[in-house]
Amino acid sequence: MGDTINISVITSLYRCEKFLVAYLQAVSQMTNLYECEFILVHNDPTNEELEIIRNFDDSNVLINHLIVEREGLYSSWNRAIRLSRGKYLTVWNVDDLRFADSINLQARALDNDPKAAIAYGDIYGSVVYGQTSEKLYRFPEWKQNRFEFYRSYLMSCFQMWRKGVHDKVGYYDEQFRCVGDFDFQVRTAMHYSFVKVAVPLGVYLEDQPHKISSNGSQALENNIVYWRYGVYEKIQFHLLFKSLAAYKKSQFLFGGKWFSNAEKSPFSLGYRIKGMAKGIFTSPLHFSKTLIKRYLR
């Protein structure tokens, strides 16, 4: 192992036995293990999960295994961020698969672009764990599409970022269950540039019932992000009161403490007014589509 930890890889674990062995095997195959630490925040582990980790034997992998009571995903991420030693941080969900050179490529991209805060890249989507499908999610280049990074989640599930940006933009908002990384992306994009890696980074396991994004709260949470930053044309207004009742739009929850939102909308007043009119008009269409989907189930 090297003496310098440059990269902290964060993984939140919960009821993950069926993925854990393959995940640890994939970790062992990373090409730059010498500069990495792997922080596993293990929520309410089972005996079987603990046994898998105890039996994992690879002296090249530096693991910091934390056992915690059940907490939200972004609480676990923030916990790991505070304990991390790397200047670069990245996440790796246990049910996704990273390619062996992905962490190295992202770190080198940040090395080569000192002004960039986040390195991201394209990913494959698959409904079978570990299987690369023909479904490739292509994300736009930052330089040509900065505007869109305020409106849509585009940094993928394998984002890597500089730890220092937390001093400027704060942490992941712990009141969210599934869109905290989108909110963090928007805040970061308002202050820093991003850099895209040229090749796909890994495989995202999608359309699974265990996914947090499958719990029905994503639309409510997206509404809060859109409202915070003036992306009014994408708000589902028929859900807005429910969103505002469940989440605080003017405050962030970091480390179990509330902080005021000092960020302003990156959009002009004229753009926001037009967006408001468009959102009010299109929201009934979203509502109708939702009813149709429920009826067809």
Pick from 116, 123, 204, 201: nearest CA to 161: 116
Q: What is the CATH number of the domain that holds 71?
A: 3.90.550.10
Rounded Cα distance between 155 and 164, Å, is 18
Q: What would the pLDDT profile of 21-44 be if each residue is shown by its tens digit?
A: 999 999 999 999 999 999 999 999
Mean per-residue pLDDT for 97-109?
97
CA distances from 147 to 108, 144, 186, 190, 210 (A): 25, 8, 10, 10, 32
Higher model confidence: residue 279 or residue 254?
254
Looking at the structure, tell me whether residues 160 and 237 fall in a common domain.
Answer: no
30 & 170 share domain:
yes
Q: Does residue 181 share a domain with residue 45?
A: yes
Is there a domain that residue 266 lies in? yes
Mean pLDDT taken over the chain: 91
Identify whether 1 is part of a domain: no
Is 80 exceeded by the pLDDT of residue 120? yes
Amino acid at site 230:
G
Position 211 scores a pLDDT of 52
Compute the distance between CA of residue 173 and CA of residue 28 in angstroms, rounded to an integer: 31
Question: Is 2 domain-assigned?
Answer: no
> Are 205 and 221 within one domain?
no
Please indicate, yes or no, whether residues 119 and 237 belong to a single structural domain of this protein.
Answer: no
Residue 70 CA: distances (Å) to CA of 9, 14, 43, 53: 20, 8, 5, 18
**pLDDT higher at 280 or 259:** 259
Residue 200 structure tokens: 């796909």
More confident residue, 57 or 172: 172
82/177 same-domain check: yes
30 and 103 co-located in one domain: yes
Helix axes 17-28, 47-55, angle to 10 degrees: 20
Q: What is the pLDDT of residue 288?
A: 54
Give residue 130's pLDDT band: very low, low, confident or very high (50, 70, 90). confident
pLDDT per residue as tens digits for the range 264-297:
999 888 988 888 888 887 876 665 555 444 444 4
The pLDDT of residue 208 is 65
Residue 146 lies in a domain: yes
Q: Which residues contact 112 (CB under 8 A, 6 or more apart)?
A: 195
pTM of the entire structure? 0.91
Structural tokens at position 244: 């505002």
Q: Report whether pLDDT(246) > 80.
A: yes
Which pLDDT score, from 0 to 100, does residue 209 have?
59
What average pLDDT does the segment 66-72 reach? 97
The parent domain of residue 14 ranges over 7-212
